[in-house]
Structure 1
Amino acid sequence: MSLVDLNLPAPEKLRGGWAALAAVCAARGWCTDVYATPHEWLYHDGGGNWVCLRFKSDNQAVLLGHDHEYSETYYGEAAAYFEEEETDLLDGVPEWWSFNLSPQPFGEWIGFVYGWEGAKWQRAGYSPQDGFDSVGLLDACSISSTDLLAEFASDAPGLGDQPPRQEALDALVAADASISPELLEAVVPGWDIEAGVEAARKFL
């Protein structure tokens, strides 16, 4: 079966918003839900749904994750556990996609696996809903809007009763992980700015 092309942003287009959210989360003390390591970027929504972007090389990456309510794909051991028909998320994909398909550290099951090889995202040709849209990664990475970023920042003590300014949110995302203390302070005054900046720069 031929692979399905996906209209999703390239990894570098996801970085700015992902790093900005990681910075806000780390500044407020939430350091284990949104963060980067040398080989992967991770996002957990706090409700059991997650996405992980793992890099095999400069031009090869996989995006995998699961929504515990809306992923209707049952891959590997999940098919037996839930007594459902298995969806082969790797049907016809390049062999390198399987270089690291562990659902850890966030979950037990995988609902989707997308591959990137320098030009476009693709997936295997299955029909069940895989849960990617409902996980909300594009909202989390400020691709759709900065509403989620603003929500996570809204109770910073230095803001008083005012929401973070839109221009400050936009600047934080536009910094593309090269976030300065001044940029983060404008969004979450009163929180741990040093921890937030450190978290963002791990995406570089």
Structure 2
Amino acid sequence: MTDRPGAPGLVHPPSLPLPEELWRHGAFCVLIRAALGGATDEWFRAHWLSGRERVGYEDGGGNWWELEVLPEGRAVLYGEDHEMSGARWLEPPLDLLAGAPEWLPLKRLRSMDDMLGHVHWFDGASWERIAYPPELRDDGLESTAGRYFTEWRALEEAMRPLGDGLLVEADAGEGSRRAVEALFEAASRRRCTREVLDGLLGDLNRSLEYDDGPPESLDVEAAFGIALRAGFTPPGG
């Protein structure tokens, strides 16, 4: 974990993970959804990948975050909680890009001014943001991106669709958790070949209890496509 992005005025200032960790956590949730048949155009309004540069989540209700990977080890994380992002409601409005470095995609971010509740940037060594006034209690960072800050929380998020009407039981069992953890280990170590995914997704499929009986298999090709885009495959392979 790196420095603390909060400042006086935030209720629970969280620590931000390194960009590559946040990327891995978010993209892994995309891979699981893809394997379950959720990687349709409609579904990608929720999680999405655009080339190898962005990953994020949008819940369809005005709460979202996006991580954009930039050259030279830099990154920018931005988003909004439409209820919690207090920067939107200050008078005068808080300029979240005041004094921001020129290497940020400032023109595009400026075009999103009325949509942004928080902006944090990583300069290759640490996270930064503008100074917050004491009256700003919450910028919405934790409530939008917080569930992806740690491996444990990301695994919880990856497990969530296993109980979204897919299964008889509300919660996935211990076997499913072990299968998801094995998939995460393979993704983290860049071992997600088609063959590895086929075996691990087969283990996951056998661990699940479906309402209408299991499909013949989970979608290995869709999962492999995400693995390629996310950097979960072996280097050069």
Determine the C-alpha separation between the residues in 2 that align with 1:140 and 1:153: 17
Counterpart of 2:92 in structure 1 is: 85
Residue in 2 that maps onto 1:77: none
Q: What letter matches 1:72 in structure 2?
A: G
> Residue 72 and residue 83 in structure 1: after superposition, are their counterparts in 2 closer, same or farther (change >3 A)?
closer
2:26 is equivalent to residue 18 of structure 1: yes
In structure 2, what is the equivalent of residue 170 of structure 1?
181
Matched residue pairs, number? 190
**1:41 and 2:58 aligned:** no
What is the aligned partner in structure 2 of residue 148 from structure 1? 157
Q: Is the 8 A contact 2:85 2:140 kept in 1?
A: yes
Residue type of the alignment partner of 2:184: V
TM-score (normalised: structure 1)? 0.77
CA distance in 1, matches of 2:149, 2:226: 15
CA deviation map 1:23-58 (0-9, x unaligned): 122233233321212221122134321111112213
1:1-204 to 2 correspondence within 5 Å? Answer: 5-6=4-5, 7-27=15-35, 28-29=37-38, 30-38=43-51, 39-74=53-88, 84-97=91-104, 98=106, 100-101=108-109, 109-127=115-133, 128=136, 129-135=138-144, 137-140=145-148, 143-145=151-153, 146-154=155-163, 161=169, 163-164=172-173, 165-174=176-185, 175-176=187-188, 178-179=191-192, 180-187=197-204, 190=215, 191-204=218-231
Return the index of the structure with the highest Cα Rg: 2
Letter in 1 for 2:70: K
Q: What code does the residue aligned with 1:96 have?
A: W
Q: Give secondary structure in 2 for the equivalent of 1:31.
A: helix
Normalised by the size of structure 2, how large is the TM-score?
0.68
Q: Could you say what secondary structure the match of 1:35 adopts? A: strand
**DSSP 3-state at the match of 1:113:** strand
Letter of the 1:94 partner, please give it: P
Deviations 1:10-33 (A, max 9, x none): 111123321221012223323332
Amino acid of the structure 2 residue aligned with 1:116: F
Q: Which has the higher contact order (CA 8 A, sep 6+)?
A: 1
> What is the RMSD computed on CA atoms of the aligned residues?
2.9
User: What's the % identity of the aligned pairs?
Assistant: 30
Flag the structure with higher helix content: 2
Structure 2 residue identity aligned to 1:113: V
Structure 1 unmatched ranges of 5 or more: 75-81
Looking at structure 1, the residues matched to 66 and 100 of structure 2 have their Cα atoms a distance apart, in angstroms, of 18
Could you list the per-position Cα deviations for residues 102-136 of structure 1 after superposition, in whole angstroms to 9, with x for gaps in the alignment? 677xx95101111111111111101322100111x
Tell me which protein shows more strand as a share of its residues: 1
Asked whether the 8 Å contact 2:17–2:149 carries over to 1, the reply is no
